[in-house]
Amino acid sequence: MKKHIIVVPNSKKKQILDEDPMRVKIKEKPEDNKANIGVERILSKYFGRKVRIVKGFKSKRKIVEIK
C-alpha cells in the first residue's frame, strides 16, 4: 500500500496527524538523511509494518510504501 505524506521536520515533538495527506511531525532536522530515517521509523511503529520512502527524498511531500 502506498500513502502520500507531508513531513514537518524540526518539530518540538513527534506526532502523526491522520489527515489526507497524512502529516508526520518529527524532531530530526532535514540534513544528512536524518529526517527521512525518522519518518520511516515513526511510520513503522505507527503501522506495525516495514515502511520505506519511494518518492520525495528531498521534499516535504513524500510517497511511502507500507509492506
Any idea where the domains of the chain sit in the sequence?
Answer: 2-66
Q: Write down the CATH number for the domain with range 2-66.
A: 3.30.1200.10
How high is the pLDDT of residue 34? Answer: 93
How high is the pLDDT of residue 11? Answer: 94
pTM to 2 decimals?
0.90
pLDDT bucket at 62, cuts 50 / 70 / 90: very high
Contact yes or no for 7/26 (Cβ under 8 A): yes
Contacts (Cβ under 8 Å, ≥6 apart) of 58:
none
Residue in the block written with cell 521534499: 59
pLDDT tens, residue by residue, 5-49 = 999 999 999 999 988 899 999 999 999 999 999 999 999 999 999
